[in-house]
Amino acid sequence: MTMTETAQSTSQQTAAPRALKTPFWRAMIALAAKDLRIEVRGRELINAMLLFAALSVLIFSFALELDRTARETSIAGVLWVTVVFAGMLGLGRSLAAEKDRGNLDALLLAPVDRAALFFGKMLSNLLFMLVVALLLVVLSTVLFNVSLFKPWLGLVIVLGTVGFATVGTLLSSMAVHTRARETMLPILLLPVSLPIILSAVRASTAILTGAPQEDWIAWPQLLFAADLILLALAYVLFDFVVEE
Amino acid sequence: MTLVDSPARPSRLLTGMTILAVVMFVAATLMALFYAPTDQQGHVQRIFYMHLGAFMGGALAFLIGAVASALYLARRQKRWDTLALSAIEIGLVLSGFNIVSGAVWARPIWNTWWTWDPRLTSAAVMWLTYAAYMMLRNGIEDPDRRARFGGVYGIVAFTSVIFTTVITRVRPDTIHPVVVGPSPQNAQGSFEINSSAMTVTLVFNIVTYVILALTLIWHRVRLEELAERVQQIKVRMFSR
Amino acid sequence: MIEVRGLVKAFGLLPVLRGLNLSVERGAFVALLGPNGSGKTTLMRILAALSKPTAGTVTIGGWRLPEEAAAVRAQLGVVAHQPLLYDGLTARENLEFYARLYSLSRENRAARVDEVLARVGLAARADDLVRTFSRGMQQRLAIARAILHRPHVLLFDEPYTGLDQDAAAMLDALLGDIARDGHTIVMTSHDLFRARALSTHVAILSRGQIGYYERSAAIQPQELPALYAEVTGAASVR
């Protein structure tokens, strides 16, 4: 193609590509809504996650012999470890479901910002994790007689799961393309999400033991900063994961 | 353009650096063992010079790895990916030495090889994060995708390691001494750099490990490029 | 409509497409033939903006790839050998999801979904889960998904894979019907006779280049196997 032709074709249609793109929010919501609809109908993922979470709490309570004093200090750790492992269960399945029947390609064929696809997927993963966390809060309150219904704890749970779902969605979209992907996801994800898990556990423990706010307020702040950084990284890096 | 000037022989600069690195490494080790004075901890304190040197070399290698990862994603030139891989491999070796030498020091001073101190944990997590990077690369067939995913994970891993390090600095409950700068309150096994001989040994060790890291990375890059050349020749032979 | 100039695609060091040129005019139906490994799927993935070329230029409807990928995607419909549908959703839900991804307006959406469902003969099964569909029905639904947003260009990558005779005959009729709408179509296939019968042009891919390009009407069906062997034969020696 000659220079003049190139110039013509761009000048004729300069502004158009933007207009042809599906709006970011609409694409993102459509994708998340699709995942929720499949889940509401089949409940394959969420049932497995919830059952796993319940089993995990029971096993922890046997293994750690959680007595009255041990409960307050270790319940937060139990909660987060369970959320993380149940979350990984969900992450692996959710992206494998897109990849195995080629649906990931179908999503990429749409005139949609790649980041919108990422955030749609991340949103549905996040919702599943929050459901698991809610179950755990109820379960621990009933089983261990430790009330977890505290507004600050709620905030920490949201901040922690947002960070974990972000980095988890990014890394599981890479893990599905590797050999032995079921083992690859935890290996990739656990070391990298350590800052989030660590801050979330520290904050939760302090809140549950009733420590004064100035002692632990740094942890939710760190979590918030980590979330922002991870969201920005995922926004930039997801393009490189999906394009060939 | 490649970093390889001649396929068979290393460039003159690399040869020079290699000789320098070896000589400095021997000198630095001898300085740590004989030149630096003994303090109240006895001879075991001499490990510290190598311990910090290896940490600095490893940290520099990981930094190079992160920058090279970002450059690969931005430019899509194979050599940046080769550099990232090489730097991270060398970083793993040096930070591995950092952890092991720390454990050897801790045995007599803290009376244990290992303790779940935040600093030690963060060093271990850094090592595991980059071990995961190597696993990821080994799990991907397509060279293009391997490089792309390596770049993405290289950046995520570095960010996370920095964050973990920041978190461990926020926590006041470490027992790990800080020799350069104020040591934490409950640090056990602190000692002071109180003679010029100690300072000279420390600085010399750090410089040595930095040069060692750079030299090793360069050799590793060269090895990778030679392996690629072999591959290229193979492809050309078979597709004829 | 589709202009490909000097297209090169290499995986690692291995070149799959080596300076491929192809020009498809508006409304043409090109059957792309070639042995396994000749680069058919690679070419289709590049045309579909799923894969970036190593070198060369590709324009579709005046838009350049990969720079103006979003614009190309909006006017492109793709049917692959996998149906690219969600098992756990009904036919209608699948189409509505894709309609939203292609930003069809809310008012048009339901009507357009009904329209394409009727077009591919699945109106009666619209509210059944895709999981319960036969392979042929899934492939028809995949075609419905591809034409949903009224694309100018359709890419069919081995659409006949895994279909029995009845389903294949049904797909023949459907593709013939769709071709009359004036879409520009590129279809890869292993079935020489079917491809020739459906298409307006035949292209044969060999050694990463278009080794042969001719109007289908100018080729006698009985000559096609010998022609195909001649064009691709040189490649199979290596």
- Chain C interface, best mutation among B77, B82, B144, by max C CB count within 10 A: B144
Strands C153-157 and C201-206: unpaired
Q: How confident is the model over B64-90, as a mean pLDDT?
A: 95
SS3 C104: coil
Model pLDDT, residue B182 = 65
pLDDT tier, A126 (very low <50, low <70, confident <90, very high otherwise): very high
d(C-alpha C144, C-alpha C158), whole Å: 16
SS3 C213: strand
Q: How confident is the model over B211-217, as a mean pLDDT?
A: 96
Strand-pair partners of C15: C10
- Chain A interface, best mutation among B145, B159, B161, B174, by max A CB count within 10 A: B159
Q: Which two tokens stand for residue B91?
A: 């970083």
Chain B residues in contact with C238 by the CB 8 A cut-off are 239
C235: pLDDT strictly greater than 70: no
- Inter-chain CB pairs, A–C, below 8 Å: 101
pTM here is 0.88
- Angstroms from A229 CA to nearest CA on chain B: 9
Chain C residues in contact with B143 by the CB 8 A cut-off are 11-12
Question: Considering the domain C1-75+153-238, what is its CATH architecture?
Answer: 3-Layer(aba) Sandwich (3.40)
Q: What is the DSSP letter of B117?
A: -
Taken in order A173, A179, A185, A191, the sign of the CA dihedral is negative
Model pLDDT, residue B150 = 96
A164: pLDDT strictly greater than 90: yes
A15: pLDDT strictly greater than 60: no
Sheet holding C55-60, edge to edge: C14-24, C2-11, C55-60, C63-65
Strand-pair partners of C17: C9
- Supply the ipTM of this predicted assembly: 0.86
d(C-alpha C44, C-alpha B84), whole Å: 33
Of B73, B163, B164, the CB nearest to A240: B73
Chain C residues in contact with A107 by the CB 8 A cut-off are 101
Instruction: Specify the range with the lowest mean pLDDT, choosing from A120-129, C62-71, C175-184, C226-235.
Output: C226-235
Model pLDDT, residue C209 = 87
Q: Taking phi first (over 0 means left), then psi (-120 to 50 degrees means alpha), and beta for anything else, what does residue C28 get?
A: beta
Q: Where are the domains of chain A?
A: 22-243
Residue C82 · residue A102 · CB < 8 Å: yes
Q: Where are the domains of chain B?
A: 26-33+44-178+195-238
**Parts of chain C belonging to CATH 3.40.50.300:** 1-75+153-238
Collect all residues from C whose CB is shorter than 8 A from any CB in B.
Answer: 11-14, 238
pLDDT digits (tens, 9 = 90+) for A194-217: 999 989 998 998 898 888 888 888
Average pLDDT, chain C: 88
- Chain B interface, best mutation among A166, A178, A182, A185, by max B CB count within 10 A: A178
Model pLDDT, residue B116 = 80
Chain B residues in contact with A233 by the CB 8 A cut-off are 155-156, 159
Model pLDDT, residue C78 = 93
Q: How confident is the model over C207-215, as a mean pLDDT?
A: 87
pLDDT digits (tens, 9 = 90+) for A62-105: 887 767 677 777 888 999 999 999 999 999 888 888 888 788 88
Is the Cβ of C126 closer than 8 Å to some Cβ of chain A? no
Of C5, C82, C145, the CB nearest to A1: C5
Q: How confident is the model over C112-117, as a mean pLDDT?
A: 93
φ, ψ at A147 (rounded to 5°) = -75, 120
Q: Which two tokens stand for residue A25?
A: 């929010």
Instruction: Specify the range with the lowest mean pLDDT, choosing from A11-15, B4-8, C97-101.
Output: A11-15
Is the Cβ of B145 closer than 8 Å to some Cβ of chain A? yes
Indicate yes or no: CB of B140 within 8 angstroms of CB of A178.
Answer: yes
Of A170, A177, A222, the CB nearest to B140: A177
Indicate yes or no: CB of A103 within 8 angstroms of CB of C85.
Answer: yes
Of A16, A34, A244, the CB nearest to C51: A244
A14: pLDDT strictly greater than 70: no
d(C-alpha A224, C-alpha A220), whole Å: 6
Q: How confident is the model over C172-179, as a mean pLDDT?
A: 87
pLDDT digits (tens, 9 = 90+) for C49-101: 988 888 899 999 888 888 888 889 988 999 988 888 998 899 999 999 999 99
A19: pLDDT strictly greater than 60: no
Q: How confident is the model over C136-158, as a mean pLDDT?
A: 91
Average pLDDT, chain A: 85
pLDDT digits (tens, 9 = 90+) for A42-66: 888 889 999 999 999 888 888 877 6
Measured at the CA of B158, the angle between CA B154 and CA B159, to 5 degrees, comes to 120
Is the Cβ of C49 closer than 8 Å to some Cβ of chain A? yes
Indicate yes or no: CB of C52 within 8 angstroms of CB of A243.
Answer: yes
Chain A residues in contact with B168 by the CB 8 A cut-off are none
A11: pLDDT strictly greater than 50: no
- Chains with ≥3 CB–CB distances under 8 Å to A: B, C
Q: b or e along A200-218 (b: 16 or more beta carbons within 10 Å of the residue's beta carbon)?
A: bbbbbbbbbeeeeeeebeb
Closest CA to B78 of B141, B152, B144: B144
d(C-alpha C52, C-alpha C73), whole Å: 14
d(C-alpha A171, C-alpha C51), whole Å: 21
Indicate yes or no: CB of B239 within 8 angstroms of CB of C13.
Answer: no
pLDDT tier, A166 (very low <50, low <70, confident <90, very high otherwise): very high
Residue C178 · residue C150 · CB < 8 Å: no
Of A191, A226, A240, the CB nearest to B148: A240
B186: pLDDT strictly greater than 90: no
pLDDT tier, B62 (very low <50, low <70, confident <90, very high otherwise): very high
Model pLDDT, residue B32 = 87
A29: pLDDT strictly greater than 80: yes
The percentage of chain A sitting over the pLDDT mark of 90, rounded to a whole number, equals 48
Indicate yes or no: CB of B239 within 8 angstroms of CB of C238.
Answer: yes
Collect all residues from A whose CB is shorter than 8 A from any CB in B.
Answer: 167, 170-171, 174, 177-181, 184, 187-188, 191-195, 198-199, 218, 222, 226, 229-230, 233, 237, 240-241, 244
pLDDT tier, A5 (very low <50, low <70, confident <90, very high otherwise): very low
The one-letter code for the residue type at C136 is: G
Taken in order A95, A97, A102, A107, the sign of the CA dihedral is negative
Indicate yes or no: CB of C101 within 8 angstroms of CB of A105.
Answer: no
Residue C186 · residue C44 · CB < 8 Å: yes
Chain C residues in contact with A31 by the CB 8 A cut-off are 101
Q: What is the DSSP letter of B139?
A: T
Indicate yes or no: CB of B152 within 8 angstroms of CB of A241.
Answer: yes
The percentage of chain B sitting over the pLDDT mark of 70, rounded to a whole number, equals 89
Of A6, A26, A102, the CB nearest to C82: A102
Taken in order A95, A98, A102, A106, the sign of the CA dihedral is negative
pLDDT tier, A21 (very low <50, low <70, confident <90, very high otherwise): confident
pLDDT digits (tens, 9 = 90+) for B77-86: 889 999 999 9
pLDDT tier, B185 (very low <50, low <70, confident <90, very high otherwise): low
Chain A residues in contact with C48 by the CB 8 A cut-off are 109
**Neighbouring C-alpha atoms within 13 Å toward the C-beta of A136:** 32
CA nearest to B141 within chain C: C12
Model pLDDT, residue C220 = 84
B7: pLDDT strictly greater than 60: no
Indicate yes or no: CB of C101 within 8 angstroms of CB of A110.
Answer: yes
pLDDT digits (tens, 9 = 90+) for C131-141: 999 988 999 99
pLDDT tier, B107 (very low <50, low <70, confident <90, very high otherwise): confident
B240: pLDDT strictly greater than 60: no
Model pLDDT, residue B172 = 58
Chain A residues in contact with C98 by the CB 8 A cut-off are 106, 110
Chain A residues in contact with B132 by the CB 8 A cut-off are 187-188, 191-192
